[in-house]
Amino acid sequence: MALDGLFLYSIKEELQSLIGCKVDKINQPEKDEVILTIRGNKTTRKLLISASANYPRVHFTNNSKQNPLKAPMFCMILRKYLSSAKIIEINQLDFDRIMKIDFENVDELGFDSKYALIIEIMGRHSNITLIRERDNIIMDSIKHITSDINTYRSIYPGLKYVFPPKSEKLNPLNFNFEELNDYIKNQEILSSETLFSKIFTGISSGLSKELYYELTKSKENLSTNSVYDFSLDFFNKIKNSEFVFSYYLDELGNLKDFHCVELLKLKSNCNSKKYLSPSNLLEDFYFEKDKLDRLKNKSADLKKLLHINIERCNKKIAILNDTLEKCTHKDDFRLYGELLTANIYKLKKGDTKISLLNYYSQTEEFINITLNPNKTPSENVQFYFKKYNKLKTSEEMGIIQLKSTKEELDYLLSVVTNIDNADNYDEIGDIKNELIETGYIKFKTSYKKKKKKESKPLHFVSSDGADIYVGKNNLQNDYLTLKFAKKNDIWLHTKEVHGSHVIIKNEGANVSDKTLEEAASLAAYYSKGKNSTKVAVDYTEVKNVKKPSGAKPGMVIYYTYKTIIIEPKNINSK
């Protein structure tokens, strides 16, 4: 699943429609990603350029992202030099994973200036750099690279820009038979599946295996001639823009690969989905994966904190259960104390044990009781009563603590579910604020909580026009159930599974079965069971839902309810 030089070539061809257009807006929603809004030819397009270590790419996008309140420095530099700039040329360097977009603009003195945005799509080494064309000076880059990181070249403002080392492989769009023959002779690679990736720049190992498979289908004995003819035919199709954009899924629906040419070997074993452009393909594949990856990174510290507290609760529960198990024998110590009291005249200091008749038993049985020879008879009696009272107190406190710890564990697990279902940074921020309010995240006394616009629960409208509300964290759940909802509104929650509170507004008329099913689907979707095929959802009127005194946010009890089994589904929010 590599975005190799060949795929980047197909993107470069698509971006040629931007030549002559002007930059209208520049945003940097992520620390390693910029979006240029470009206007021209009676249309407005958004160009996403990402230097993400996991998903570096450049393509048109239709998705919107929330921008930070304060623009990062790189974004400010781009706005200074590229706002209203005209795109004059878009090139790919030597078929490698490097794209260069040339701009023409008027500087503050009214002179024409030329700048270039150089995009390097190279995994964790990916970068976006703005240079001034006349002297090749770096204006700024989205990632600053010092000599400590890269001894070959440094990238930060004020230096001359140096391109990555040029590949010694052949350019697939410009090679001849002699060059290919010399390369194959020197490398001796005709029997290797990675033949094409070793010869040509911009060909990934996955694509090389596919090309090798096509080549060897009809020819058992390979030669330079056969490789040359096959390569010439294949790359002529690329020059003529004969692309087939598709990605391939295995039987379980897992993505195996994608490319701008048909992968016949994969196609024979996988299902494929075709696209009209490389941007549509990349948008479809990368957007959700990139969003989940970034949300995961953003919430990593919160999850670590939660898992530490979950582990603490589990250890505490194990200790309390062990203590309560020991307390089940407390009545034996009371019995020993009572028997010793009744027979104290038989005891004398120095005895180590005594056998006494258990007059509480239906049958005549004698019990052997251990004594401390250093204690008086009265002290031995008091020892067993104290032991009984201590275990009785431990049991009473243990039951209270066990209930409290289980409730805390249930709360923490619900927060983990809310993080897993979070859809944007604001929702992660709301959950962080919740953990601050509940005391799991502590700040120094100098910390002042910033005033922030209060987030709102999700709002949906059912097919029958009923309003449905879904809480995305436990503070929202409390607000929905305890303050927002009226007593005759319908409350829904997954049965014995952590999830969101869902409210159906009941405006006097009976709630339809269709609305109930849609609301139950939402309750299942915004729960820990969202990936299940069927989920049990309880529903009742809000008046049947109560919050116990001192309970954690989002924790309620309810009664007189019904249950519906439903498939988790999302519907468009309002």
- Paired sense of beta strands 562-566 and 535-541, if any: antiparallel
Q: How confident is the model at residue 444 (pLDDT cuts 50, 70, 90)?
A: low
Every domain of the chain and the residues it spans: 5-141, 177-296, 304-418, 458-566
Q: How confident is the model at residue 257 (pLDDT cuts 50, 70, 90)?
A: confident
**Residue 450: predicted pLDDT:** 53
Q: What are the tens digits of pLDDT across the range 136-162?
A: 999 999 999 998 888 889 999 999 999
Contacts of 472 (CB under 8 A, 6+ apart): 418, 421, 422, 423, 427, 430, 455, 457, 458, 500, 526
238 phi/psi in degrees, rounded to 5: -65, -45
Is the model's pLDDT at 445 over the cut of 60? no
Q: Cα(105)–Cα(343) distance, rounded to whole angstroms? A: 107
Q: Cα(268)–Cα(213) distance, rounded to whole angstroms? A: 12
Q: Cα(192)–Cα(336) distance, rounded to whole angstroms? A: 84
Q: Cα(521)–Cα(518) distance, rounded to whole angstroms? A: 5
Q: What is the DSSP letter of 344?
A: G
**Residue 574: predicted pLDDT:** 56
**Residue 33: predicted pLDDT:** 95
**Residue 43: predicted pLDDT:** 94
Q: How confident is the model at residue 453 (pLDDT cuts 50, 70, 90)?
A: low
Q: What are the tens digits of pLDDT across the range 183-222?
A: 887 667 888 888 999 999 999 998 999 999 999 887 777 8
Listed residue (470, 519, 456) closest to 499, CA to CA: 470
List strand residue ranges (DSSP E) for 213-372, in order.
245-249, 255-259, 271-275, 353-357, 366-370
Residue type, position 241, single letter: S
Q: Choose the weakest-confidence range: 106-120, 281-295, 463-477.
A: 281-295
- Average pLDDT in the chain: 90
Instruction: Pick one of 3.30.1330.20, 2.30.310.10, 3.10.20.90, 3.50.50.60 as the CATH number of 5-141.
Output: 2.30.310.10
Is the model's pLDDT at 447 over the cut of 60? no
Q: What are the tens digits of pLDDT across the range 314-370?
A: 999 999 999 999 999 999 999 999 999 999 999 989 999 999 988 888 887 899 999
CB-CB contact of 104 with 86 (8 Å): yes
Q: What are the tens digits of pLDDT across the range 485-533?
A: 999 999 999 999 999 999 999 887 788 999 999 999 999 999 999 889 9
Tell me which H or E stretch contains 114: strand 112-120
Taking the alpha carbons at both ends of the chain, their separation in whole angstroms is 36
